[in-house]
């Protein structure tokens, strides 16, 4: 293993025969000499202060030259933040091209700094102004009246209401007497109808796991007996024995 060149230093070699500590010291010394000399590694130094990179184009290093091409200036100075955004109604500090960050994004994307929002044509779900309800204005009006009458609570379970339900299951009759203000759970129950019962409950009067407990067997055996159409006889025999 190579060791640092410096006397009384036994650290591992990091670069050019020096350990990491001494290599950094030498690099910082070369950096300070380059700033005073105006050259670094045989080339001119970038004209930005505290930048020791070599010149790439127009007296700038590669990084600062790319910044000038992209945004028109190099690094963000404190003086630049003291300026206010160009937009008259905005009092935020400017960041790029004398605009604040938000207005600069709007100008680069849309070409103007106006706030549009997400309503109407600018919403991603806009379908040309066609509503699924006829007389949608009347429905919205009666909906607000219904919310005030119920104080924003479900009419069935008195929890927080969110949905309007039509009693006659149509999308035409928006009369207040035909509307109910419900929570999502109650609304789902009304539309889905009664809960489904198990086929074993309908055929044998017991659920699958209840039959398995009675016959003292596993569930897959109960299913096999059902396929062989011998399950009913087994249940009768078991009930007679018990």
pLDDT for position 180: 92
- What are the tens digits of pLDDT across the range 187-242? 988 887 665 667 888 788 888 888 988 888 898 899 888 888 888 888 888 776 65
- What are the tens digits of pLDDT across the range 7-48? 778 788 888 788 887 777 676 665 555 555 555 455 677 888
Give the global pTM.
0.34
More confident residue, 127 or 206: 206
Q: Could you tell me the residue ranges of all domains in the chain? A: 1-37, 78-110, 136-192, 202-241
- What are the tens digits of pLDDT across the range 162-201? 999 988 877 788 899 999 999 998 998 888 766 566 788 8
Cα gap 171→76, rounded to integer Å: 59
Cα-Cα-Cα-Cα dihedral sign, residues 75, 76, 79, 80: positive
Cα gap 166→170, rounded to integer Å: 6
pLDDT at 144 over 80: yes
């Amino acid at each position: 293993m190579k060791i640092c060149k410096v006397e009384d230093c036994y650290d591992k070699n990091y670069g050019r025969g020096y350990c990491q500590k001494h290599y950094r010291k030498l690099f910082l010394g070369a950096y300070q000499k380059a700033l005073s000399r105006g050259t670094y590694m045989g080339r001119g130094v970038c004209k930005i202060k505290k930048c020791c990179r070599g010149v790439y184009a127009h007296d700038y290093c590669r990084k600062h030259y790319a910044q000038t091409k992209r945004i028109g200036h190099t690094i963000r100075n404190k003086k630049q933040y003291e300026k206010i955004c160009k937009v008259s109604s905005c009092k935020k500090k400017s960041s790029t091209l004398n605009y604040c960050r938000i207005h600069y994004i709007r100008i680069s994307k849309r070409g103007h700094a106006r706030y549009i929002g997400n309503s109407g044509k600018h919403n991603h779900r806009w379908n040309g102004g066609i509503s699924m309800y006829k007389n949608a204005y009347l429905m919205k009006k009666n909906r607000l009246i219904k919310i005030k009458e119920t104080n924003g609570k479900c009419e069935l379970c008195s929890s927080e209401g969110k949905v309007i339900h039509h009693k006659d299951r149509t999308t035409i009759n928006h009369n207040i007497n035909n509307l109910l203000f419900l929570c999502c759970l109650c609304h789902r129950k009304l539309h889905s109808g009664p809960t489904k019962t198990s086929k074993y409950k309908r055929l044998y009067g017991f659920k699958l796991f209840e039959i398995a407990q009675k016959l003292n067997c596993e569930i897959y055996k109960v299913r096999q007996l059902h396929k062989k159409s011998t399950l009913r006889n087994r249940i009768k025999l078991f009930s007679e024995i018990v």
